Amino acid sequence: MSKKKELLQRAYLVLVVLVMAALLLMFSTARISIIEGRSWKEQGDSTRLKFVDIEPERGNIYSADGRLLATSVPFFDLHVDLGSEAMTNSIFSAHVDSLAECLARDVFKHESTDNVKRRLLRAREAGHRYFLIKRNATYAELSEIREYPLFRLGKYQGGLIIERKSSRMKPFQNLASRTIGLDREFAPNVGLEGSFDEYLKGSAGKMLKQRVSSGVWIPVNDLSEIHPERGKDIVTTLDMRMQDICETELRESLVKHDADFGLVVMMEVETGAIRAMVNLDRNKDGTFEEKYNHAVADATEPGSTFKLASVMALLEDGFIDVEDSVAINHGKAFFGKFKMEDSHWRKEKRVTIKHAFEISSNVGIARVVDDYYGVSDNGSMFIDRLRQFGLNEITGIEIQGEGTPNIKDMDHELWNRTMTLPWMAHGYELEVTPVQTLTFYNAIANNGKKMKPYLVDKVVQGTKVIEEFEPTVLKGKIASKQTIRTARELLEGVVHQGTASQLKSSEYSFAGKSGTTKLEYWTGSNKYQASFVGYFPAENPRYSCIVMVNNPRQQGFYGSLVSGAIFKDIADKCMGTDVALMKVKTDIPQEPLTYPVFEAGYTPDLLKVLQGVKLNYENKADSDWCVLMPGENGVSVENRRLDENVIPNVVGMGLRDAVFILENMGLKVKINGSGRVRDQSIQPGTRLEGQKILLYLG
C-alpha cells in the first residue's frame, strides 16, 4: 500500500509540474503574441521591410526670357526579380528565348543570345531577385525595355524593378555655369543652386522596400507610399543673348592676351537686375571655362577705377572744383619716402583735376586727396565719405560667398600717415569686389540711387507665382545731385578725350573709367589686372558693366586697351541687338516698291495679306490655290491648278502649304534650306506614283 501511495504522489507531482509548465507556456505565448506582439512584429519587420526616401525631382532654373538653364534629367536602374512567386516556370519558359534575344540585341550587345539566355536560366535557378538589366537607362530606353517579352506582363509576373534617379543638366553647358551653380551630392551646393536650394529641392517621398537577400532591397509596390513633391522653379534675371555676347567677347580677349582669368558683369541700371555674369578661368591646355565666381567672391585692390570715389569725396566736402589745377610733375612724386609714378611720363607739370582724372594720373588724384585729407585728422572725413557711398558694405547679392570689402580706418594698425591716403586715392591699400565696384558705378548712372544687384526675379510652381523679388534700393542718394552730375561728366570725359578716347563710337555714347592695377604692388611684380567699368548709353543709361582681365601677358595690359576694348565690343553688340536701344534712322533712301509676284499659296490667306498691306491687286482666282502674277496696276491673283494624277507645282509656296498638298497626294517630302519653296526635285506634271520629293527652300 505504501508503494502505491508513493507512486501516486510521484504521479501527482509530475502532473503538477506538467500543468505548471503548460500554464507557463500558455502565459508566455499570450505575453509574446498579445502584450509584446506589436513590438516583436516591428522588430521582425525591421529586418525585412523598411521605408526609404524617394528623392524628388529638382526644380528648374530659367533665364529671364524663359530659356531653360538647369533641369533634372531622369535616369533609371533596371533589375528583374527572377524569384517572384507570380512568375511561374511556365510563364518564364514561354518568354525566356525572346527576352534573351531582345536583351542581346539592345542591352548586352557584346553577348550572344545563347549566353544571355544561360545567364537568365542560372539566375532563375538560384532564385535571383535583383538581376541587373541596365543602369542609367534613359526614359526612351525604359519605355522600350518595358515592352520586352516577359517584362510586359507587369511587375509581379514580369518581375521588372524600376528605380528612378536623376542627373542635373545645363542645356547651355558652360554659359553662366558658375552663376547657375552646382547641385552636388555629399557637398554644399554653390551658385543659385545653393542659394535657392530650399525652393529647388522639393520634399522627399517614402517607398516601402523588402529585403530579399543580404544588402538587396526591392520595392514592395510600384508606386511610393508617400509621393515626393517636385521642387519649385526659379526664374532668373539673366538674359542669354547678353550672356552669350559677354562670354564670347571675354573668351576671345583672354585667348588674345594670354590671361589667367577674366570676368564680365552686366547690370540693368534702373533695377539692379544682373543680365549677364561671366567668370572664365584658364585651363592647363589654354582653354577657358567657368570654375569660380571671381566677380562676387574676389575682394582685390581695384586700382584707378576707385579714383571716381576719391574725386566725389572731395566734391562732397566742397574742397575742390574740377577745373582747379593740381601739380603732377610729369607723372612723378614722393609721399614721404615712398615714390609714386603715373603709367608713363607726362609732359605737363600742372593740369586741371578734371584732366588728371581723364588721363588717370595717379600722382594728380593722390596729390589732391593728400592735400585736403592728409592734414590734421581729415583722413577720417575721407573714410566717412567712402562709407557714405556704401563702399564698405557688401551688396547682399543672392550668391553665397560675397567677398567683404576692406576699407581701413585711421586707427588701423597698418595705417601710415604719409602713405595710406595717397595710395588709397588711386585704388590701393583697400579691397572691394568687382560686383561692389559695379554697384557703385551703377548708382552714378542711376542719378545717385544705389540698387541691390539681384539674380532671381521670381519663384514659381507651374503657373503659380510663389514669391516675387522686387528691385531693392540700398541707398536712395549716395551723393548730392551736383556731385553725381559732375561725376557723370568726368566719366564721359574719359571716353571723349581721356584714356578711352580710342574707343568712342560715332553711333552712340558711353561713359566709364579704366583701371590698371599692379598686382602684388610692393613686391615689384610685373603682373597686372586690367579693368574697365562704365555704362551706356551715356545720356540715358540702360546698362552698367564691369570687365576685368587678370594677368594679361601679351598684346598689352592697360585697362583701356584690354578691358575697355571688351566693354566697347559688348556695348556695340548690345546696342545693335536690343530694339529698345536702337536709333531710328531717318536719312535712309526710299527703295522703289516691289510687288510680291510669283508667290503661291492658299487663296484666302494670300487675299487677306494683300488686303492687310493695302496692295493693289486683281483677283482672277476661283480655286483654293493661287499664284501672284505681275498685273497692270499691282498684282494679279491667278489660279494654280492641281491635277490629282500628276506632281503639282509648289514653287513659290510657303513650306506649310507645300507639305500639306504633297503629303495629301501620297508623296514623301524632304526639305533642304529654309524660307519659301524655290525648286523641287521632281518636275511638275510628272506622273504621280507615291515618290519621294525634295523641296529646296530659300
Give the pLDDT confidence of 661-671 residue by residue, as tens digits: 888 888 888 88
Q: Quick check: 390 pLDDT over 60?
A: yes
Last residue of one domain, picked from the residues 185, 209, 234: 234
**Domain assignment present for 556:** yes
Q: Give the separation between CA 212 and CA 192, rounded to whole angstroms.
A: 41
More confident residue, 387 or 182: 387
Report the chain's mean pLDDT, rounded to a whole number. 87
pLDDT for 244: 93
Identify whether residues 72 and 220 lie together within a single domain. Answer: yes
Identify whether residues 353 and 387 lie together within a single domain. Answer: yes
- 315-339 pLDDT tens trace: 999 999 999 999 999 999 999 888 9
Identify whether residues 148 and 186 lie together within a single domain. Answer: yes
**Domain assignment present for 44:** no
Please give the share of the chain, as a percent, with pLDDT higher than 70. 89
Could you tell me which of 481, 580, 473 has the C-alpha nearest to residue 536?
580
Q: Give the separation between CA 348 and CA 472, rounded to whole angstroms.
A: 45
- 506-558 pLDDT tens trace: 889 999 999 999 887 666 678 999 999 999 999 999 999 999 999 999 998 99
Q: How far is CA 606 from CA 247, 289, 307, 676, in A?
A: 44, 50, 63, 14
**Domain assignment present for 2:** no
pLDDT for 683: 80
Cβ count near 576 (within 10 Å): 12
- 567-623 pLDDT tens trace: 999 999 998 887 777 665 445 455 555 666 667 888 888 888 888 877 888 888 888
What are the φ and ψ backbone dihedral angles of 133, each rounded to 5 degrees?
Answer: -100, -55
Identify whether residues 571 and 625 lie together within a single domain. Answer: no
Number of domains within the chain = 3
**Domain assignment present for 312:** yes
Helix (H, G, I), strand (E, B) or coil at 6: helix
- 341-381 pLDDT tens trace: 998 899 999 999 999 999 999 999 999 999 999 887 789 99
The mean pLDDT value for 464-484 works out to 96
The mean pLDDT value for 153-164 works out to 84
Amino acid sitting at position 214: S
Identify whether residues 368 and 436 lie together within a single domain. Answer: yes
Q: What is the DSSP string of 9-25?
A: HHHHHHHHHHHHHHHHH
Identify whether residues 162 and 208 lie together within a single domain. Answer: yes
pLDDT band at 675 (very low <50, low <70, confident <90, very high): confident
Q: What cell numbers appear for 266 in the block?
A: 552686366
Element (H, E) at 611: helix 603-612
Q: Give the separation between CA 634 and CA 478, rounded to whole angstroms.
A: 63
CA quadruple 255, 259, 265, 266: dihedral sign: negative
Identify whether residues 575 and 678 lie together within a single domain. Answer: no
**Domain assignment present for 42:** no
Q: Give the separation between CA 225 and CA 248, rounded to whole angstroms.
A: 49
Residues 159/95, Cβ–Cβ less than 8 Å: no
Q: What is the DSSP string of 468-533?
A: E----EEES-SS-HHHHHHHHHHHHHHHHHSTTGGG--SS---EEEEEEEETTGGGT---EEEEEE
Measured between its terminal Cα atoms, the distance across the chain in Å is 129
3-class SS string, 562-609:
CHHHHHHHHHHHHHHHCHHHCCCCCCCCCCCCCCCCCCEEEHHHHHHH
**Domain assignment present for 68:** yes
Helix (H, G, I), strand (E, B) or coil at 115: helix
Residues 441/534, Cβ–Cβ less than 8 Å: yes
pLDDT band at 105 (very low <50, low <70, confident <90, very high): very high
The mean pLDDT value for 384-413 works out to 94
Last residue of one domain, picked from the residues 551, 581, 611: 581
Q: What is the DSSP letter of 313?
A: H
CA quadruple 286, 291, 294, 299: dihedral sign: negative
Cross-strand partners of 653:
600
CB proximity list for 419: less than 8 A, separation 6 or greater = 335, 336, 338, 429
Q: What cell numbers appear for 356 in the block?
A: 588728371
Q: What is the DSSP string of 207-242?
A: EEEEEEETTEEEESSSS-SBPPBPPPEEEES--HHH
pLDDT for 35: 67
**Domain assignment present for 639:** yes
Q: What cell numbers appear for 668 in the block?
A: 514623301
Could you tell me which of 407, 371, 414 has the C-alpha nearest to residue 389?
407
Identify whether residues 251 and 230 lie together within a single domain. Answer: no
Identify whether residues 417 and 514 lie together within a single domain. Answer: yes
**Domain assignment present for 375:** yes
Identify whether residues 417 and 273 lie together within a single domain. Answer: yes
What are the φ and ψ backbone dihedral angles of 96, each rounded to 5 degrees?
Answer: -65, -35
CATH number of the domain to which 64 belongs = 3.90.1310.10
Cβ count near 489 (within 10 Å): 14
CATH number of the domain to which 658 belongs = 3.30.10.20
pLDDT for 631: 74
Task: Look at the pTM and tell me if it is higher than 0.85.
Answer: no
Identify whether residues 318 and 217 lie together within a single domain. Answer: no
pLDDT band at 493 (very low <50, low <70, confident <90, very high): very high
pLDDT for 567: 97
The mean pLDDT value for 262-277 works out to 97
Residues 637/600, Cβ–Cβ less than 8 Å: no
Identify whether residues 128 and 202 lie together within a single domain. Answer: yes
Cβ count near 467 (within 10 Å): 11
CATH number of the domain to which 402 belongs = 3.40.710.10
Q: Angle CA(411)–CA(414)–CA(417) in degrees, nearest 5?
A: 70
Which residues in 203-240 are b (16+ Cβ under 10 Å) and which e?
A: eebebebeebeeeebbbeeeebeeebebbbbbbbbbbb
Provide the domain limits for residue 690. Answer: 600-697
- 197-239 pLDDT tens trace: 899 988 876 766 666 665 666 666 655 566 778 899 999 999 9
Cis geometry, peptide bond prior to residue 537 (ω within 30 degrees of 0):
yes
Q: What cell numbers appear for 608 in the block?
A: 487677306
Last residue of one domain, picked from the residues 205, 234, 263: 234
Q: Give the separation between CA 171 and CA 453, rounded to whole angstroms.
A: 25
Could you tell me which of 649, 652, 672 has the C-alpha nearest to residue 662?
649
Q: Quick check: 500 pLDDT over 80?
A: yes
pLDDT for 669: 87
- 407-466 pLDDT tens trace: 999 888 888 888 899 999 999 999 999 999 999 999 999 999 999 999 999 999 988 999
